[in-house]
Amino acid sequence: MTQDPQTVNRPPDSSPTSTEASIAVGHPRNATNLGRGLVSVVARWEVLLIVILAVVIWEGNQISPFYIDWTNFGFSTGGTMEVAIMALAMTPIIITGDIDLSVESMVGLSGAVLGVLWAGGLPLQFGIPIVLCVGLVGGLFNGMLVTRWGLPALVVTLGTLALYRGLAQVVLGTSYVSNFPKAFTDFGQGYVPGTSVPWTLLAFLTAAAIFCVVIHMTWIGRQVFAIGKNKEAARYSGVRVATLRTALFAVSGMVAAFAGVMLALRTNSVRSDNGSGLTLIVVMIAVLGGVDINGGKGTIPGVILAVFTLAALQSALRLAGVSSEYQNVTIGLLLIFSVITPQLARQFRVLADRVRQGRHRPVRDPIPGEVVR
């Protein structure tokens, strides 16, 4: 068993008094203190996200009369669902203190395999399960390297980020495959009949419901948070840490493969560079959704809100005529500020506590930028 530095270096702020759902601002330390209790509700990250979402929608409505419109809703959410569904699977991985950078390459690899199988004459109803198995195996490979050999998830998935993209290039070369059958592209592009709800949004919401129940209402979810708080303690209390972490990577691989299928069917084309650059957005959604990159904290509802915030923002920028390169700048800025804000709030709270209590609370400074590996 290798020594795990993160259990030693965990800042005291993540003491058991903080619920993983609340950001650091609201510690309901004194239940009778109504004011503080109110603050803890209002200062929840999800509430803040709802405010941001409302502001974005209000601004978007100022930009264009077509913004608040079912057609635009369908269009702007439909295009985000691949990253959205991957962010769901990324959330428990980040909560346990790991990260999976290889998802974007798995999108490319699954698309490439699907394309080759389809071009070879295999019907998609057989091709898609095969591709999902490819994703499962790729995720298992990540998980085994991380847990059995004790390698840092960051490096392993950086390696497989290159490896899976390389496999996609070997499988498909520089060619491309398109002309998937209409019954399937309808899933990627079409809407539930009679509504403006894209099929992919329905798929995302189903997946989100499953993830939400599993992470927040079952023993699996409790164990995920336990691992994120303290791996050693979790192990000694009977959590099968290695197995669970491996399983999470396997799920992430399979979900990424499914996202690859969604992307292939939505764009009706497959190239070996499908999905490149998506990891940034997936991690961004998770972080924006209030998942702590150092592990131990995060909620699925927060991530769902982050998905819709991102979709609303992208749609507003698109209607304002901002090109996609600059949209990425906005996403990058949002990413950094979504982390700075709670950090500042936490420092402010520490300062306020010191002033109130009139004594120095011993707070260890974490290494700036310290990332759990």
Partner 1 sequence: MASNVAVGANARRRVGALIGGFARSRELTLAVVLVALATLVAARAPNFLASTNVVSVTALAAIIAIAAVGEALVIITKNIDLSVESTIGLVAFVVAEVLKQHNLPIPAAWAIGIGLGLALGMANGVVIAIFRVPSIVATLGTLSIYRGLTYWVANGHEINSNDLPAGYTDAASRSILGFRIGDFQFPGVPIFVVLAVFVVIVAALALRYTVPGRQLYAVGSNAEAAATIGIRSQSTVFLAFSLCGMLAGVAGVLWGMEFGQLYASSGTGQSLAIIAAVVVGGVSISGGSGTVIGAAIGALFLGLINNALTVLLLPQEWLQMIYGAVILFAVSTDALIQLRSQRAKARSRIR
CB of 220 to partner 1, least distance (A): 26
H or E stretch at 206: helix 199-217
Secondary structure (DSSP) of 270-289? E-TTTTTTHHHHHHHHHHHT
Closest by Cα among 1, 7, 3 to 226:
7
Q: Looking at 10, 27, 165, 318, which residue binds partner 1 (CB under 8 A)?
A: 165
Q: Which is nearer to partner 1, 36 or 346 (CB)?
A: 346
- Confirm if 290 and 299 have CB atoms less than 8 A apart: yes
Which are the contacts of 318, defined by CB distance < 8 A and separation ≥ 6? 76, 327
Closest by Cα among 113, 115, 109, 72 to 267:
115
Q: Residues 85-124: x/- map of binding to partner 1 (CB under 8 A)?
A: --------------x-------------------------
Buried b / exposed e over 188-216, threshold 16 CB at 10 Å, is bbbbeeeebbbbbbebbeebbeebbebbb
- Confirm if 87 and 286 have CB atoms less than 8 A apart: yes
Q: Looking at 42, 162, 233, 320, which residue binds partner 1 (CB under 8 A)?
A: 162
CB of 1 to partner 1, least distance (A): 10
CB of 4 to partner 1, least distance (A): 10
Q: Which amino acid is at 194?
A: G
242 belongs to the binding site for partner 1 (CB under 8 A): no
Q: Which amino acid is at 201?
A: L
Cβ atoms within 10 Å, residue 289 = 28
Interface with partner 1 by CB under 8 A: which range of 28-36, 120-128, 159-167, 220-228?
A: 159-167
Q: Which is nearer to partner 1, 22 or 142 (CB)?
A: 142
Interface with partner 1 by CB under 8 A: which range of 58-66, 182-190, 306-314, 341-349?
A: 341-349
Q: Looking at 50, 137, 339, 350, which residue binds partner 1 (CB under 8 A)?
A: 339
160 belongs to the binding site for partner 1 (CB under 8 A): yes
Q: Looking at 133, 335, 345, 350, which residue binds partner 1 (CB under 8 A)?
A: 335
CB of 155 to partner 1, least distance (A): 5
Distance CA 306, CA 286 (A): 7
Which residues in the 258-297 window bind partner 1 by CB under 8 A?
A: 272, 280, 283-284, 287, 293-294
Buried b / exposed e over 105-143, threshold 16 CB at 10 Å, is bbbbbbbbbbbbbbeeeeebeebbeebbebbbebbbbbb
370 belongs to the binding site for partner 1 (CB under 8 A): yes
Q: Looking at 12, 123, 181, 366, which residue binds partner 1 (CB under 8 A)?
A: 366
Which residues in the 291-330 window bind partner 1 by CB under 8 A?
A: 293-294, 323, 325-326, 328-329
Cβ atoms within 10 Å, residue 236 = 9
Question: What separation in angstroms does the CA of 368 have from each of 9, 57, 60, 65, 361?
Answer: 12, 34, 36, 44, 19
> Which positions touch partner 1 (CB under 8 A)?
2, 5, 8-9, 99, 145, 149-152, 154-156, 158-167, 169-170, 173-174, 272, 280, 283-284, 287, 293-294, 323, 325-326, 328-329, 331-333, 335-336, 339-340, 343-344, 347, 364-371, 373
